[in-house]
Structure 1
Amino acid sequence: MSFENQLKEEMRLVILRLLNELPSYRGNSSTLHSGLNHWGLSFSRDQVKTELHWLKEQGCINIEFDNPDVIVVKLTERGQDVVEGRSKIHGIKRPSA
């Protein structure tokens, strides 16, 4: 697996973890972008939005609001299962034990 793909898998897991910690399991692309930077994962805002759409396709999040400036998302039960290690989705890093 390429290093770029490993970083994407890590980013997807961190996004889900961040949402799992937020009130109402809800956040926006700008807040998540800042959270990723805090954890040393430097991605563009556009890359974050692309990955949010990917996570929606996997059933891990719901998109509640989407415009060119910001996307508002909410963690789903399936996404929470991935964060807590009860479920595995190809393309998302498995959480450490």
Structure 2
Amino acid sequence: MSMGDVIREHARLIMLRDLAEQPDGRWNSEALREDLEVRWAINRPRAFVHDELRYLEMVGAVTLAESGSVLIASITQKGLDHVERRIRVEGVKRPSPEA
């Protein structure tokens, strides 16, 4: 697995966790991009975040809506099940078990 693949899998997990933490399970792509950069040192453009969100939509972990130049992502039950370790979503880093 390349370093790019590792970063993508980590970023996808981080985005799912961020969505799961929101009261309504939704967040916009710019806020997700900023979180990846500030908290996790994954400094990528918005296009990267959009590509990864579209992947997550393709595998059924999120739904997306467009709002101007940003995407609004909503976590699905499948995405939440991955974050909570009930299932494994291909292409997304598996969360570590709770200590």
Shorter-normalised TM range: over 0.9
Instruction: Provide the secondary structure at the position in 1 that maps to 2:96.
Output: coil
Is 1:3 equivalent to 2:18 in the alignment? no
Unaligned runs of 5+ in 2: none
Q: Deviations over 1:29-88 (max 9, x none)?
A: 01111111122111111000011111000000011x215610011000000001111111
Matches within 5 A, 1:9-48: 9-37=9-37, 38-48=39-49
Q: Which runs of 4+ in 1 moved over 6 A?
A: none
TM-score (norm 1): 0.93
Question: 1:52 aligns to what?
Answer: 53
Output the amino acid matched with 1:24. Answer: D
Instruction: Provide the secondary structure at the position in 1 that maps to 2:60.
Output: coil
Output the amino acid matched with 2:55. Answer: W
Instruction: Provide the secondary structure at the position in 2 that maps to 1:93.
Output: coil
Q: Give the 3 Å change call, closer, same or farther, for CA 47–4 of structure 1 in structure 2.
A: same
Question: 1:74 aligns to what?
Answer: 74
Unaligned runs of 5+ in 1: none
CA distance in 1, matches of 2:93, 2:7: 9
Question: 2:89 aligns to what?
Answer: 89
Identity %: 35
How many residue pairs match? The answer is 96
Instruction: Provide the secondary structure at the position in 2 that maps to 1:48.
Output: helix
Instruction: Provide the secondary structure at the position in 1 that maps to 2:27.
Output: strand
